[in-house]
Amino acid sequence: MTVKTIEDLGDLRGRRVLVRSDLNVPLAGDPPNRTITDDGRIRASVPTIRALRDRGARVVVMAHLGRPKGQPDEKYSLAPVAKRLGELLGTSVAFAADVVGESARAVVAGLGEGEVALLENVRFDPRETSKVDAEREAFAEELAAFGDAFVSDGFGAVHRKHASVYDVARRLPHAAGQLVLDEVKVLRSLTENPERPYVVVLGGAKVSDKLGVIDNLLGTADRLVIGGGMAFTFLAAQGHEVGRSLLEEDQIETVRGYLQQAGDRIVLPVDVVAATAVSEDAEYSVVPVDAIPKDRMGVDIGPESARLFAEKLADARTAFWNGPMGVAEIPAFAKGTRAVAEALTRVDGLSVVGGGDSAAAVRALGFAEDAFGHISTGGGASLEYLEGKTLPGLAVLED
C-alpha cells in the first residue's frame, strides 16, 4: 500500500485538516454523567493530532461512537470524549454540538493555528452509513467543506465504506495518519512471511463472525487455538454435549470441515468453566469438555485448557490474538483470558492483540500495554485485513 503521509501534505500552517479518528470508546453511566471506562483508542489518536498541531494546522476531528441509528442520542454524544482528548493533548478541544450544522460551522470558523475541534458523532447523521452512494457523497461534501486536507487515522473504521472514512478522502488531498500506518505495518507482518511458528488465538462469541479469517488462516498459521463462545460449535462438531452454551448449529458442518482439513493444527479446550448463568453470583464448576451438564453453559476455558493454550504459544515467533476466552468482564470467568494474555507477553517475537474486546480486556486485567508487541485499535478491521479483504478506507488512500 503506497499512501501519502502527513509530511507529504506540505506546509499545513493555518490550513484546516479534517482528521477521521477512532474514538469509539466504552462508556458507563447515564447522560449527562457518562464516564469513559477505557480510553485506549483516544490515547492512540493523540500522536497524529499532536503532529498536526505542531505543524500549525487547524485540526477538525471526526469520529463515531456506538450505533445511534442515524439521529442524535445523548447516550452516544462525543462530549465526554472531547474532554478526555483535551486532557491528553494538554489543551482545550472545542466541541461542536452537531455534525455539519450551525454549531459545527461556528466552531470550525473559530479555530486558530494549532487548535483542535471535535465534531459531534458523525453517525448522528443517517447519511454517514448510507448504502446509497449519493446520500453519503452529499454528506461528505458538507464535511469536506470544513477542511483543506484529510488525514485518515481511524483504523477501527477503515473496513467501512462510510462518508467520513471513504467519501471525504475522495474530495480532499489526503494522507494516512501515524496510527493507520502503524496498524498496516503490523498486519503486513502477519500476512507476508510471518516468522514461524505462527500461532493464532481466536475467541469471542460467534464462529460465523470469523469464518473468513479462519478460512484464510488455515493456509498460513501453524496453529489455530480456539476459545470463547465460538469453541462450543467446534466441540459440538466433535460430538460433544455443550449444554446451554453458545452454539451456532448452522455452522457445525462448516466447522467439521475445518477440523478435517486442519487436523491437530486446530487446538480446542479440554475443560471449561460451566455455570448456571452469566452472572457474578452464578454457580459454576470446572468440567471436562465431554462432561458439560445439559443445564449449564460454558463461560470460560478451564485451567487445563489455559495451560494447553499457553503451551501452544510458548514457542511462537509470531502470535495474533482476537477475542476473549470467556465472559472476561466477570472476574471469576476471566481466568482463561488472563492466561492467554500472560502467555502472549512471553512470546519471543511479535505478539499482537487484535483490538476490540481483547484490547479492552488486557487493559481491564491490568496488563501494561508495552508488554505486547502491538495492541490494535480495530478488531473488525484487523480481522478483515487478515481475511485478505480490500478495506475501503485504506484503498481510497492509495495513489
Residue 114: band (very low, low, confident or very high) from pLDDT cuts 50, 70, 90: very high
Question: 89 with 63, same domain?
Answer: yes
One-letter amino acid of 193: N
**Do 237 and 300 fall into the same domain?**
yes
74 is in an annotated binding site: no
Residue 133: in which H helix or E strand, if any? helix 133-144
Q: Is residue 398 part of a domain?
A: no
Placement of cell 443445564 in the chain: 295
Domain that holds residue 81: 6-181
Residue 387 clears pLDDT 80, i.e. is over it: yes
> Annotated active-site positions, please?
41, 206, 356, 380
Element (DSSP H or E) covering residue 74 = none
Reduce the DSSP state of residue 398 to 3 states and report it.
Answer: strand
- Report pLDDT digits (tens) over 239-253: 999 999 999 999 999
Question: What is the residue type of 10?
Answer: G
Q: What is the CATH number of the domain that holds 31?
A: 3.40.50.1260
Q: Identify which of 77, 75, 96, 94 has the alpha carbon closest to the alpha carbon of residue 85.
A: 94
Share of the chain above pLDDT 70, in %: 100
CA–CA separation, 98 and 146 (whole Å): 13
Residues 322 and 383 in one domain: yes
- Whether 160 has a binding-site annotation, put simply, is yes
β partners of residue 224: 200, 266
Asked if 176 and 279 sit in the same domain, the reply is no
| Cβ contacts of 37 within 8 Å, gap of 6 or more | 25, 26, 27, 28
Position 335 in a domain: yes
Domain count, the chain: 2
Indicate whether 1 belongs to any domain.
Answer: no
Could you tell me if 98 and 122 are in contact, meaning their C-beta atoms sit under 8 angstroms apart? no
Tell me if 123 is assigned to a ligand binding site: yes
Q: Are residues 258 and 354 in the same domain?
A: yes
Q: What is the pLDDT of residues 304-358, one digit of tens each?
A: 999 999 999 999 999 999 999 999 999 999 999 999 999 999 999 999 998 778 8
**Per the annotation, does 355 bind a ligand?**
yes
Whether 262 and 289 share a structural domain: yes
